[in-house]
Amino acid sequence: MSARPRPRPRPVAKTRVSADATTTTTAPAATTSNKTDDEDALFMRSRGRTDQQWMQLQRLARTNSTTHVVSLDTSEDDDHSLEEYSPPPRLMKRQKQIKRNIPRWQAVGASKLLSSSSEDDDDDDIVVLGGTGNAVNGTPRKRKRERSRSRSITPPPELPAHLLTNTRYLVRQALAVPQRTPSPTFLPDESTDTIVLDPELAKIAEAVKKQTTQHKIEGDQVGGPEVVQVNVKWIPHPLNDSAQKHIWMFKMKRHSTFHDLFEELADLASIMLNQLVVTYDAKRVFASGSPSSLGIWAEGELEAYDKHTYEYIRTRRHQRPVSPTLPADESDDDESHDTETQSGDEELEAESTSGDKFKLVLRSATTKDITLTVRSTTTCSAIVKAFLKAADLPDVYSDVQSKGKGKPYPRLKIDGEKQAPDAEIGDADLDDGDLVEVIGI
């Protein structure tokens, strides 16, 4: 068996020493070239490729190689810079397999968990605990918190109506807003009697006059003053102690609508026109009405409310508790000492000509509620008589007081106390729309 041939020793590059050894500029260059030659000698070169082929291979290697840059800036674009970074294909494939095998909540990073926390927290900035920190100073990175869901569309709780009304009133008082000057009175158009029309135009004008006279309402034919006075009483909210009642007087034509009157009231009360409610005899009045449609002859009184005030008063009026009426045989001993009720067929307005007007709701055990307009100087006996007449009940108690304890007669009962027949209703300190019981029927 022949001996294995001995490998050829590698050739050793010979170093060339420059003749001028005293110069320092050429010495490092010689050392670098020698080192490069030594490293190239460690590799076996392929003799079958030319220099152009090697240059093409180097260009392909440069184009295929990708450079990945990771930004360490602490700005808000960290998420975008991290997304641009793409690891090698093998690493991405490995990460995809890991994500499939573990639950989703474990795969979410610490930054995602912190950003999806409750939005009720007042802090706008959060500290990212997980992931890579700041490579420069090693401190935790801070960034703006991104909302994970939309804002809540639930409106805030609505403030009570009386609180809003009271606030508006206090603001108007603090700013000392001057009252608006009344609107000018529109004078009627000038007479056209002096204008001479053509025969055809004269016939048309005459036909129009006849048509307007045919469509006149019955109020014009019956008569009455052409201009009426309308007094409007402003009713503030019952819970607004600082508000004041106002009375405004207007003069308008009998058959004119209330459009201009409503606009004037809204300006005086400093409210929106759609928030104004006007009533007449406890019935709502609209802008399309007129004094003639309400039956106002020469003077009438309207009541104006804010919309929330009107709803509050109406609901409180219907929800007022009713105290139980006493049986007929449980009259007190004080009934024998009461004075006689006034006799006659007198009406409520005929008894007194002075005092403020207000409305009372009378209720009994046998009839429905009846609303009467009374004055503060009206006696209780006159109110009972008017109630019996409005309820179509026989007037058997108003003339003569019953004798004995067992025979009762109708009386007014306010807050559990029986009122004397000759007592004035203004002494009971009642408000507009209060409920009064009628007992003894």
Least confident window among 2-11, 142-151, 269-278, 409-418: 142-151
- Domain residues for the domain of 433 are 357-398+407-439
Is 292 in the same domain as 371?
A: no
The torsion of the CA quartet 151, 154, 159, 164, rounded to 10 degrees, works out to 60
Least confident window among 30-39, 58-67, 206-215, 426-435: 30-39
- What pLDDT is attached to residue 367? 80
Question: Residue 309 falls within a domain, yes or no?
Answer: yes
Question: Residue 362 falls within a domain, yes or no?
Answer: yes
Question: Residue 54 falls within a domain, yes or no?
Answer: no
CA distance linking residue 367 with residue 229, whole number of Å? 36
Cβ neighbours of 345 (radius 10 Å):
9
Is 289 in the same domain as 366?
A: no
Do 293 and 405 form a contact (C-beta atoms < 8 A)? no
Question: Residue 260 falls within a domain, yes or no?
Answer: yes
- What pLDDT is attached to residue 250? 92
Domain count for the chain, please give it: 2
CATH code at 421? 3.10.20.90
Is 312 in the same domain as 231?
A: yes
pLDDT band, very low/low/confident/very high, at 386 (cuts 50, 70, 90): confident
Question: Residue 392 falls within a domain, yes or no?
Answer: yes
pLDDT at 193 over 70: no
Domain boundary among 301, 319, 337: 319
Specify the residue for token string 């300006």. 267
Tell me whether strands 299-306 and 276-280 are parallel, antiparallel or unpaired: antiparallel
Query: In this structure, what DSSP letter does residue 108 have?
Result: S
Position with higher pLDDT, 61 vs 130: 61
Question: Residue 394 falls within a domain, yes or no?
Answer: yes
CA distance linking residue 206 with residue 141, whole number of Å? 92
Q: Please state the φ and ψ torsions of residue 21, each to the nearest 5 degrees.
A: -85, -10
Q: Helix axis angle, 161-175 relative to 307-318, nearest 10°?
A: 140
Residue 234 Rama label (left phi>0; alpha psi -120 to 50; beta): beta
Do 297 and 272 form a contact (C-beta atoms < 8 A)? no
Question: Residue 188 falls within a domain, yes or no?
Answer: no
The structure tokens listed for 143 are: 């960034």
HEC secondary structure over 32-86: HHHHHHHHHCCCCCCCCCCHHHHHHHHHHHHHHCCCCCCCCCCCCCHHHHHHHCC
- What pLDDT is attached to residue 280? 92
Query: What would the pLDDT profile of 237-247 be if each residue is shown by its tens digit?
Result: 888 888 888 89
Least confident window among 112-116, 201-205, 254-258: 112-116
Position with higher pLDDT, 225 vs 45: 225
Question: Residue 393 falls within a domain, yes or no?
Answer: yes
Is 231 in the same domain as 307?
A: yes
Domain boundary among 289, 319, 349: 319
Is 302 in the same domain as 362?
A: no
Do 340 and 421 form a contact (C-beta atoms < 8 A)? yes
